[in-house]
């Protein structure tokens, strides 16, 4: 469904994040470009930053703990592991889930559609739940419901740390509400999970960030590096009213590349080839919707032609589906580096893939044999390195005794890293030309016009090229990626591997590209006993409390670690 657009959008963006698809695909798809061999707040490296041919493809950093200690900070460290904090955290997350901040595809303008007003009580809940934050940080409300918190640091020469989450959740269809084990907005806690829409996408991350910052204030922490919290309110329906206003505001206020690091929601940790990988997303695939319109003469259904518009459109759809994109691993695709990491560290890594990795450097094949072989693991892996094509909408005809005069098809594409939208347009034009010639129809390919007896191709404004890849390469100095990796290992131990990953869909970070080169889509909570993704976007969404508490602990350390390093 086409979404409304900003009058002057900074970029074009896809209409939905489709987290249920995004994170299913992401969970298995993470990699390391390079990682640092050692980490400490003042000295990150013990080895040369210029790898030799024999250097590890997937060096790991050491755990990074904040070095600045005070009795108050130490007390909070202990408190974070207490049952008292656990109970309070459960109550805070449960309360957030109980406010049904649903965002709908057909929302009208902010301030006009009354359904937006549910975000007022949510903002009020945050104000009451986190009093120290609201007494200490500057809060600006952008486009009414966008929440922008700023904790000014003592050193204005340092770039800021920016943490993100979104307030909205996907709607719960009335027809499925009774299928939930616990009511979808109950925030029910069963001793292990908090249940409800938004529990894992992504009120858990929003509340974890605020809990960590509230505790930092309680411990009398004084940041050197400015900390910014940016919470949109319509991520599930494109983010144009939320992040689409927050990001330009920050860009105007602070300037290009003014953020040291940006962390938003994303996938977390999963088992691969016998070992656990934490997988912060360093890239996102692109996005484009293409509309195909077939115009053919109408008439009475009792005297049909051999082929009408619906039939011709169907023939074109069949051609498109019969000619899928081949898997291809671009050198910048993070999944390639996950393969290197698996080959180096994972005991169950397939020998054939390891052999193909060795051949890759010699570029000894016409077809990307490595990508083809890796894709055999299933579609959730294949589409990490393949442009996807999905026919999602078709409409034609209005009456049973009248031939359709206009048939429209909408095809969604998620564009592979290393490709771009022009490749999609060229391929569709070629296929449509074959059908147009067969049926003596005029082809209007991305010309912006539609005529009689024709096939017309147009793309919607919601177009996005693949995201810039955040740097993870080893260097002499500390980097945001090394801090993220070291913080993760400090929380979970050195046996956990950290590997950059690729997002097959899009998050609110698509609006923030100009603010930082270092963007990571990462959910740091990890519950070893919880399988799957917490049923995001479907019945029985829930989050493990153990994972949620670990998210709070991760942000508690990450903010301090970012404050101590020189970038």
Residue 415: predicted pLDDT: 97
What 3-state DSSP class applies to 264?
Answer: strand
For tokens 């109980």, the residue is: 98
Q: What percent of the chain has pLDDT over 90?
A: 80
User: How sure is the predictor about 474, in pLDDT bands with cuts at 50, 70 and 90?
Assistant: low
Could you give the CA distance from residue 214 to residue 229 in angstroms, rounded to a whole number? 12
User: How sure is the predictor about 20, in pLDDT bands with cuts at 50, 70 and 90?
Assistant: very low
pLDDT digits (tens, 9 = 90+) for 293-316: 999 999 999 999 999 999 999 999
Q: Give the active site residue among 102, 234, 235, 508.
A: 235
Calculated CA dihedral for residues 328, 332, 335, 338, nearest 10 degrees: 140
How far CA 276 is from CA of 196, 268, 294, 342, 526, in Å, comes to 27, 10, 50, 10, 10
Residue 328: predicted pLDDT: 94
Tokens, residue 426: 């060229």
How far CA 211 is from CA of 88, 224, 353, 449, in Å, comes to 10, 20, 43, 53
Residue 380: predicted pLDDT: 87
Q: Which of 14, 3, 148 is nearest to 467 (CA)?
A: 14
For tokens 């790991």, the residue is: 60
Q: Which of 55, 60, 68 is nearest to 38 (CA)?
A: 60
Residue 56: predicted pLDDT: 74
First-to-last C-alpha distance (Å) of the chain:
43
235 catalytic residue (yes or no): yes
Tokens, residue 34: 């390079």
Residue 44: predicted pLDDT: 44
**Predicted confidence (pLDDT) at residue 31 exceeds the cutoff of 50:** no
| CB 309, CB 407: distance < 8 Å | yes
> What average pLDDT does range 77-81 have in this prediction?
97
Tokens, residue 16: 């939905």
Mean pLDDT of the chain: 88
77 catalytic residue (yes or no): no
Is 444 among the annotated ligand-binding positions?
Answer: no
Higher pLDDT among residues 285 and 478, named by residue: 285
Q: What percent of the chain has pLDDT over 70?
A: 88
Is 264 among the annotated ligand-binding positions?
Answer: yes
> What average pLDDT does range 314-339 have in this prediction?
95
User: How sure is the predictor about 531, in pLDDT bands with cuts at 50, 70 and 90?
Assistant: low
Tokens, residue 273: 């080839």
Is 166 among the annotated ligand-binding positions?
Answer: yes
| For the chain, counts of helices (H) and of strands (E) | 15, 18
Q: Give the active site residue among 102, 168, 508, 541.
A: 168
Is 201 among the annotated ligand-binding positions?
Answer: yes
What residue ranges define each of the domains in the chain, with the CATH number in brackets?
Answer: 19-283+467-564 (3.40.630.10), 286-325+387-465 (3.30.70.360)
pLDDT digits (tens, 9 = 90+) for 118-162: 999 999 999 999 999 999 999 999 999 999 999 999 999 999 999
pLDDT digits (tens, 9 = 90+) for 493-523: 999 999 999 988 789 999 999 999 999 999 9
Could you give the CA distance from residue 198 to residue 205 in angstroms, rounded to a whole number? 10
> What average pLDDT does range 368-381 have in this prediction?
92
How far CA 360 is from CA of 30, 56, 370, 436, in Å, comes to 19, 17, 7, 40
- List the 388-396 sheet strands across, edge first: 388-396, 406-415, 286-295, 454-459, 442-445
With a CB cutoff of 8 Å and minimum separation 6, the contacts of 545 are 86, 89, 90, 189, 192, 193, 194
> What average pLDDT does range 249-276 have in this prediction?
95
**Predicted confidence (pLDDT) at residue 357 exceeds the cutoff of 60:** yes
Could you give the CA distance from residue 484 to residue 30 in angstroms, rounded to a whole number? 15
Alpha helices in 219-350 (DSSP H): 243-254, 309-322, 334-345
What 3-state DSSP class applies to 77?
Answer: helix
Could you give the CA distance from residue 360 to residue 370 in angstroms, rounded to a whole number? 7
> What average pLDDT does range 461-486 have in this prediction?
88
User: How sure is the predictor about 545, in pLDDT bands with cuts at 50, 70 and 90?
Assistant: very high
Ranking 202-216, 436-450, 524-538 by mean pLDDT, the lowest is: 524-538
User: How sure is the predictor about 36, in pLDDT bands with cuts at 50, 70 and 90?
Assistant: very low
Could you give the CA distance from residue 328 to residue 140 in angstroms, rounded to a whole number? 44
What H or E segment, with its residue span, contains residue 387? none
Ranking 24-28, 32-36, 211-215, 451-455 by mean pLDDT, the lowest is: 32-36
Is 236 among the annotated ligand-binding positions?
Answer: yes
Phi, psi of 295 (to 5 degrees): -110, 120
User: How sure is the predictor about 94, in pLDDT bands with cuts at 50, 70 and 90?
Assistant: very high
Can you give the pTM of this predicted structure?
Answer: 0.87
Reduced 3-state DSSP string for 93-139: HHHHHCCCCECCCCCCCCCCCHHHHHHHHHHHHHHHHCHHHHHHCEE
């Amino acid at each position: 469904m086409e979404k409304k657009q900003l009058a002057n959008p900074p970029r074009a963006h896809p209409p939905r994040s489709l987290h249920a698809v995004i994170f299913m695909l992401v969970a298995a798809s993470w990699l390391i470009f390079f990682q640092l061999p050692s980490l400490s707040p003042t000295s990150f490296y013990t080895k040369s930053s210029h790898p030799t041919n024999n250097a590890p493809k997937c060096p790991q950093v050491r755990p990074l703990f904040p070095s600045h200690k005070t009795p108050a900070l130490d007390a909070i460290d202990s408190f974070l592991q207490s049952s008292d904090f656990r109970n309070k955290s459960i109550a805070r997350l449960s309360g957030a889930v109980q406010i049904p901040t649903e965002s709908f595809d057909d929302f009208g303008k902010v301030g006009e559609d009354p359904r937006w007003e549910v975000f007022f009580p949510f903002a009020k809940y945050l104000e009451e739940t986190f009093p120290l934050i609201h007494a200490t940080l500057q809060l600006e409300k952008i486009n009414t419901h966008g929440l922008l918190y700023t904790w000014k640091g003592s050193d204005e020469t340092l770039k800021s740390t920016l943490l993100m989450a979104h307030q909205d959740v996907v709607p719960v269809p009335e027809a499925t509400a009774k299928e939930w084990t616990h009511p979808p907005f109950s925030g029910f806690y069963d001793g292990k999970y908090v249940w409800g829409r938004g529990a894992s996408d992504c009120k858990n991350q929003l509340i974890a960030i605020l809990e960590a910052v509230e505790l930092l204030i309680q411990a009398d922490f004084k940041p050197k590096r400015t900390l910014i919290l940016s919470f949109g309110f319509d991520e599930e329906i494109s983010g144009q009213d939320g992040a689409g206003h927050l990001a330009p505001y920050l860009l105007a206020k602070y300037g290009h590349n003014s953020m040291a690091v940006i962390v938003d929601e994303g996938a977390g940790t999963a088992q691969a080839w016998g070992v656990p990988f934490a997988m912060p997303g360093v890239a996102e695939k692109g996005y484009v919707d293409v509309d195909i319109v077939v115009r053919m003469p109408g008439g009475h259904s009792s005297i049909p032609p051999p082929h009408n518009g619906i039939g011709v459109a169907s023939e074109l759809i069949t051609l498109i589906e019969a000619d899928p994109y081949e898997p291809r691993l671009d050198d910048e695709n993070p999944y390639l580096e996950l393969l290197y990491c698996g080959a180096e560290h994972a005991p169950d890594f397939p020998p054939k893939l390891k052999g193909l990795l060795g051949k890759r450097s010699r570029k000894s094949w016409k077809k990307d044999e490595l990508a083809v072989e890796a894709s055999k693991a299933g579609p959730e892996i294949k589409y990490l390195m393949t442009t996807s094509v999905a026919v999602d909408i078709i409409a034609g005809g209005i009456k049973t005794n009248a031939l359709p005069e206009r048939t429209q098809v909408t095809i969604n594409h998620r564009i592979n890293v290393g490709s771009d939208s022009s490749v999609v347009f060229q391929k569709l034009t070629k296929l449509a030309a074959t059908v147009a010639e067969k049926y003596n129809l005029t082809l209007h390919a991305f010309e912006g016009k539609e005529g009689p007896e024709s096939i017309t191709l147009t793309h919607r404004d919601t177009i996005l090229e693949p995201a810039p890849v955040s740097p993870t390469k080893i260097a002499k100095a500390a980097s945001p990626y090394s801090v993220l990796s070291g913080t993760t290992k400090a929380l979970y131990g050195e046996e956990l591997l950290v590997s950059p990953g690729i997002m097959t869909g899009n998050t609110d970070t698509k609006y923030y590209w100009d603010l930082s080169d270092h963007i990571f889509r990462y959910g740091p909570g990890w519950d070893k006993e919880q399988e799957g993704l917490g049923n995001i976007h479907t019945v029985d969404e829930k989050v493990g409390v153990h994972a949620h508490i670990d998210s709070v602990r991760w942000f508690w350390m990450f903010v301090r670690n970012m404050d101590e390093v020189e970038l």
